Amino acid sequence: MTLIATLKPETKIDTHTCYHCGQPADREFIAFQDHIFCCKGCQTVYDILSSSNLGQYYCLNENPGVNRKESTPAEYFGFLDDTNVRSKMIVFSDAKRTRVVLQIPLIHCSSCIWLLEALYKLHPGIIKSQINFLKREATIDFDENKISLRELVELLSKIGYEPEFNFASLNKKAVSNPMKAYYMKLGVSFFCFGNIMLASFPEYLGLDATLEASNHRLFGFLNLGLALPVLLFSAQDFFVSAWNGLKQRFLNIDVPIVLGILVMFFRSLYEILSQTGAGYFDTMASLVFLMLVGRMFQNKSYNRISFEHDFRSYFPISAMINIDGNWRSMPVSEVKTGDRLLIRNMELIPADSILVRGDANIDYSFVTGEQTPVRHENGAMIFAGGRQMGSSLEVEVVKPVSQSYLTQLWNSDIFKTKTSRDTTALANHISHYYFTPVILLISFMAMGYWMIFDPTRALSAFTSVLIITCPCALALSSPFTLGNIVRILGKHGFYLKNANVVELINQTDALVFDKTGTLTKPDAAHVEFIGEPFTEHENVLVKSLSRHSVHPLSRRVFDSLPQAELIETEDYSEKSGAGISGKADGHDIILGSEKFAAGTLEHRTEKGESCVFLSIDGKMRGYFSIRTAYRDGFSKLLHGLKSRYDMYLLSGDNESEKVNLLHYFREGDKMHFKQSPAAKLQFISELNSKGLRPMMIGDGLNDAGALQEAAVGVAISENINHFSPACDAILDARKFEKLDKFLMLSRYGVKVMQGSFLISFCYNIVGMYFAVQGTMSPLFAAVIMPVSSVTVILFTTLASNLAARRIGLHD
Amino acid sequence: MSAIVVLIAVSLVVAVGFLAAFLWSVRDGQFEDDYTPSVRVLFDDTVADEEGEKR
């Protein structure tokens, strides 16, 4: 019985959670139709849904909704009325039907799917809607005569599913999924492979001698007919890749593959036309099929996670422009020099402008890395990329959007030329330096030998060598091993952009960490009040005062104080570098540095701690001790890594944390503070030019340049479905402490791959023994090549799974 | 001789039929989303749903 009693308080009592969004509804809850709601927004959504007979939404999952406390004002979507924007958004349109594809990142459960696919019940103008859950995407068909695009988006926003719009989503062209063409190639090659095998059966079973000559020819031509689609359609990618390699004077792995395919095809063609043999079409088709399967493993990516977000994704796509005295929402591309813009709280400034009116408190962390917002006076220059924190601003644009400082910064070459990393892949490296030259040498030697001793066998020996050494197993080793590693890592919260990243990780020898948001938790800090505990009244006073400031320390203090009914404050003033003061309920409150709040300097601040002192009515009350909250397990992780890697720290912040981090980074000169995004990029370039292969681990847009420049860029993300800057890998923030295991598994993966290369070489040597003698039969080739491939696949899959288990990353 | 030719022709026609069906399904986008349909199939059809369908 006691057990039950202790368990009970933990079970959720649902009278205190919002029926719509599931958030605690403590103070200002709204009771409506037997349910509790945390805010007006949630209740409205419930009202809309229940009156439209969509109550089932709440039955599929408990509290499925999205919190509606902060809703977007309706006029925000004004830019959707713009014909230019509309035409970019719409996929297809005719008189009755318009189709639009919207990104809705808030889709999170089956209720969402159900509701969004039942949209037609909410508005007669909506014909059909279909959700792709993994992509968080809604494809909606609607009748533009009954509902406009803007109204549609407003409706979605009203029920809590606000679509996401940004500069990049507007400018992307509807690209057909590359996987489609790929699946088709795979299907065709499988079909041809199977049927060629079937037609080759008489030969496998030794029945060909008993066959009539006409049947013999029939099977030959049938095989030829089936081999053509394989050569011309399915194998296309290999030809393209080999050609690209040759153009760069690089013999990548596809060069010997294409050589093998071509030799097989033409030798078989000759044999069939001249009636001298059955040809190698079966081997060719099975090879192409197997390698396409390998490609699938290599290219299998997480389509719900985007690795390609560039800075434009962060850019707003609309701005409120003052036209003839009215504020109108317009696309950012329409912003011209001299326009008046309205910038609201948390909005990015799209172009360099002059402040006309309002309290500018600009957070330039996207540009400079510094987190503390900067105050600006009227008439001051505000740069693009800054984010307004606080009340609305009115600014006048002085430079067009495209010429702004930020755009210039991010337009640097790094973001344009994605360096080709083909040459670094181990399989390609082996092919270029060893494999291709060696097989060419052997095949010519075999031909030369037989030219002297038995010229009739010369051509046969030459082609046999090229056929049997066609590096199918070699080419399959890396996609299967690395693909499996990518899959295991993905299961544990480390998402790689593609399989090649595993090899890149293996080559890294330096780790560069960002501090804020990477080593530390972005929104959490240990805040502790040292002094006599607060009364409830004092809590209200301090919380009300600290609410007005956007300084990070004030925000921390505000967030740490318990919920309270806030009151008005008078005579509020903020002194930069000192603190804030004001009057609330007749009490004078000062919050700030010791000198500012108490006029004395007695307290010794411990290392790694920031103090905010509080005085009420001139009496010292105590101080808030604020410590940066590092991620769980960060200390153990860094200790483990520092013995194996060269470690660096790049932070946009000041040096206050330097002492805390010193022993992880060994020397002080490996830690760099007050780094702007451009400086971070520069630093990585310097490491590159020193011959190091750095891995950059960062989180925000201010790391974007460094993430691109580094050999491997890892973006750390609290929510992998939210976008992160362009990078090679995304690390789920909750799995941060496992980073060393992830790196270790990548290393093992490359070892496994090397092992499988050895196996495939052994098969090649055996095959070569027969090939150089000019006595290889087509059946031998048809058996040994798939067998070698299957062995390699089995080996890599088992070995990489075993490696993962040993490290402690269970499947 | 003729029997085997007929059989091969028939088997090829059947196989081509399956290939065509596969290519069609790929073009149609059946492999684009392999998660949502698994959820969708579990939703109950309500009476209101059927009315909506008729519309």
Q: What's the pLDDT tens digit per position in A414-430? A: 554 444 455 557 888 88
A510 Cβ contact list (under 8 Å, min separation 6): A645, A646, A647, A648, A687, A692, A693, A694, A695
Tell me the C-alpha distance between A565 and A577, whole Å. Answer: 29
Q: Could you report the per-residue pLDDT of A24-69, keeping only the tens digit for each?
A: 766 667 777 778 887 777 888 888 888 888 878 887 777 787 776 6
- pLDDT attached to residue B50: 45
What is the distance in angstroms between the Cα of B39 and the nearest Cα belonging to chain A?
Answer: 7
Which chain B residues are within 8 Å of A208, Cβ to Cβ? Answer: none
Tokens of A374: 């900067």
Nearest to A180 among B26, B36, B46 (CB): B26
Which chain B residues are within 8 Å of A191, Cβ to Cβ? Answer: 15-16, 18-19
Tell me the C-alpha distance between B1 and A619, whole Å. Answer: 110
- What is the band of A441 on the pLDDT scale with cuts at 50, 70, 90? very high
User: What is each CA distance from A605 to A484, A595, A600, in whole angstroms?
Assistant: 50, 13, 13
> Taking Cα atoms as reference points, which of A505, A467, A470 lies closest to residue A486?
A505
What ipTM was assigned to the predicted interfaces of this complex?
0.83
Structure-token match 């690395």, residue found: A482
Which chain A residues are within 8 Å of B8, Cβ to Cβ? Answer: 199, 218, 222
Tell whether A402 and A328 lie within a shared domain.
yes
> Taking Cα atoms as reference points, which of A385, A315, A382, A316 lies closest to residue A353?
A382
Among B36, B45, B50, the residue to mutate for chain A (most A Cβ within 10 A): B36
> Taking Cα atoms as reference points, which of A291, A262, A260 lies closest to residue A443?
A260
Nearest to B1 among A120, A194, A214 (CB): A214
Answer whether A188 sits within 8 Å of B46, measured CB to CB: no
CB A562 within 8 A of CB A527: no
Q: Residue A580: exposed, middle, or buried by beta-carbon count in 10 A (0-12, 13-18, 19+)?
A: buried
- pLDDT attached to residue A4: 36
The answer on pLDDT for A580 being more than 50 is: yes
> Taking Cα atoms as reference points, which of A15, A61, A21, A63 lies closest to residue A39?
A21
Of A131, A146, A165, the position where a domain reaches its end is A165
Structure-token match 């050494």, residue found: A469
The answer on pLDDT for A332 being more than 70 is: yes
On average, the pLDDT of chain A sits at 81
Structure-token match 């395919």, residue found: A261
- What is the band of A607 on the pLDDT scale with cuts at 50, 70, 90? low
Dihedral of CA A265/A266/A271/A273: which sign? positive
Tokens of A715: 């973006």
Answer with the residue of higher pLDDT: A299 or A717: A717
Answer whether B26 sits within 8 Å of A177, measured CB to CB: no
**Does residue A300 sit within a domain?**
no
CB A663 within 8 A of CB A687: no
The CATH number that applies at residue A355 is 2.70.150.10
Tell me the C-alpha distance between A701 and A184, whole Å. Answer: 38
CB A423 within 8 A of CB A386: no
The CATH number that applies at residue A79 is 3.30.70.100
Q: What does the buried/exposed string (b/e) look like for A285-312 if buried means 16 or more CB atoms within 10 Å of the residue's CB?
A: bbbbbbbbbbbebbebbeeebbbebbbb
The answer on pLDDT for A488 being more than 70 is: yes
The answer on pLDDT for A575 being more than 90 is: no
**Does residue A575 sit within a domain?**
yes
Of A606, A630, A654, the position where a domain reaches its end is A630
Answer with the residue of higher pLDDT: A576 or A326: A326
Tokens of A452: 């002297």
> Which structural domain range is residue A370 located in?
316-412
Tell me the C-alpha distance between A337 and A198, whole Å. Answer: 71
List the domain boundaries for chain B: 2-54
**Does residue A355 sit within a domain?**
yes
Answer with the residue of higher pLDDT: A397 or A666: A397
**Does residue A280 sit within a domain?**
no
> Taking Cα atoms as reference points, which of A583, A580, A593 lies closest to residue A626?
A593
CB A549 within 8 A of CB A580: yes
Which chain B residues are within 8 Å of A212, Cβ to Cβ? Answer: 1
The answer on pLDDT for A591 being more than 90 is: no
The pair phi, psi for residue A652, each rounded to 5°, is -80, -15
Tell whether A527 and A619 lie within a shared domain.
yes
CB A196 within 8 A of CB A188: no
Answer whether B42 sits within 8 Å of A117, measured CB to CB: no
DSSP state, A413? G
For the residues of A731-751, what is the DSSP string, one character each? EEGGGGGGHHHHHHHHHHHHH
Which chain B residues are within 8 Å of A218, Cβ to Cβ? Answer: 5, 8
Structure-token match 């560039």, residue found: A310
**Does residue A610 sit within a domain?**
yes
Structural domain count of chain A = 4
- What is the band of A14 on the pLDDT scale with cuts at 50, 70, 90? very low
Among A49, A54, A56, A193, the residue to mutate for chain B (most B Cβ within 10 A): A56
Residue A309 identity (one-letter amino acid): H
DSSP state, A593? -
- Stated as kind and residue range, the H or E segment containing A523 is strand A520-531
Tokens of A198: 């079937």
Mean pLDDT, residues A508-519: 86
B12 in contact with A, Cβ within 8 Å = yes
What is the distance in angstroms between the Cα of B47 and the nearest Cα belonging to chain A?
Answer: 10
The answer on pLDDT for A288 being more than 90 is: yes
Tell me the C-alpha distance between A461 and A263, whole Å. Answer: 12
Answer whether B8 sits within 8 Å of A222, measured CB to CB: yes
**Does residue A560 sit within a domain?**
yes
Count CB-CB contacts under 10 A for residue A403. Answer: 13
Which chain B residues are within 8 Å of A60, Cβ to Cβ? Answer: 43
**Does residue A208 sit within a domain?**
no
Tell me the C-alpha distance between A388 and A319, whole Å. Answer: 14
> Taking Cα atoms as reference points, which of A800, A698, A751, A23 lies closest to residue A365?
A698
**Does residue A527 sit within a domain?**
yes
Instruction: Give A685's Cβ-side CA count (13 Å radius).
Output: 9
- pLDDT attached to residue A611: 80
Answer with the residue of higher pLDDT: A587 or A569: A587
Of A378, A412, A446, the position where a domain reaches its end is A412
User: What is each CA distance from A352 to A386, A412, A457, in whole angstroms?
Assistant: 9, 18, 76
Tokens of B21: 């069906």
Tell me the C-alpha distance between A631 and A521, whole Å. Answer: 6
